[in-house]
Amino acid sequence: MPMTKKMKFAIITSNPFVAFLYQFVCLYSFTFRLTVENEQTWMDYIKGGGKVVLGCWHQQFFSILRYFKKYKAYRGSVMISKSSDGDFVEGIGRRMGLHPIRGSSSRGGREALAEMVERLQETGLAVHILDGPTGPMGVIKPGVIRLASASGAVIVPLYTSADKAWYFNSWDRFMVPKPFARVTIRYGDPIPCPPAENSEEFEKQRASLEKIMLPGIHHLTE
């Protein structure tokens, strides 16, 4: 009897499968020749009482899956959509040491943002996928600006790159470094994000962050 789509989804989102997949990714990531740049700047900022939102592209998320367990003590939050795919991503996020908060611009976004702000003020750390979960690629959505300005946090750009990688045929050209690739995780300098006085000022903040982040995305067409 062929497996139904519902049965397949139940297996993929089950705790045993997610745990197995995450462990596989961790073992795979151990092959990377990893370099981390400018990490201490934002960590010192949090230790001094500041609040940080780490912002990265959806394309580059794979490279940080194992490394982010280093920040588990911060109990940082991440917003994940209420879609069926989000059920799987939530399990991965928890194993990374993050606290998933479910919601997106299309469903439950306002409540999720309020919870993100509250938790960020408590823990000092949040992670935000700038163009997720559905893109378009390289276009920063307004949520990260709202989160940072409402909580008094700075935005710290997070980039990953690899000298050898596969790129999926997806909307974001999702990147998976090849085994033994030279992988770099690089943090940008903190960007203040004070509350905007009007919609024009808000858009300037969003566009400015996008201009800073765009050079770090891999625009591949092959």
**Domain segments of the chain: what residues?**
5-216
The tokens describing 4, both together, are 């139904």
* Rounded Cα–Cα distance for residues 68 and 52 (Å): 15
- Mark the ranges of the chain whose per-residue pLDDT is less than 50: 1-2, 221-222
Asked if residues 213 and 157 have their Cβ atoms less than 8 Å apart, the reply is yes
Count CB-CB contacts under 10 A for residue 205.
22
Task: Work out whether strand 33-37 and strand 165-167 pair parallel, antiparallel, or are unpaired.
Answer: unpaired
Q: What is the pLDDT of residue 14?
A: 73
Asked if residues 60 and 86 have their Cβ atoms less than 8 Å apart, the reply is no
pTM score: 0.90
- CA triple 207-76-186, angle to 5 deg: 55
Q: What is the pLDDT of residue 1?
A: 38
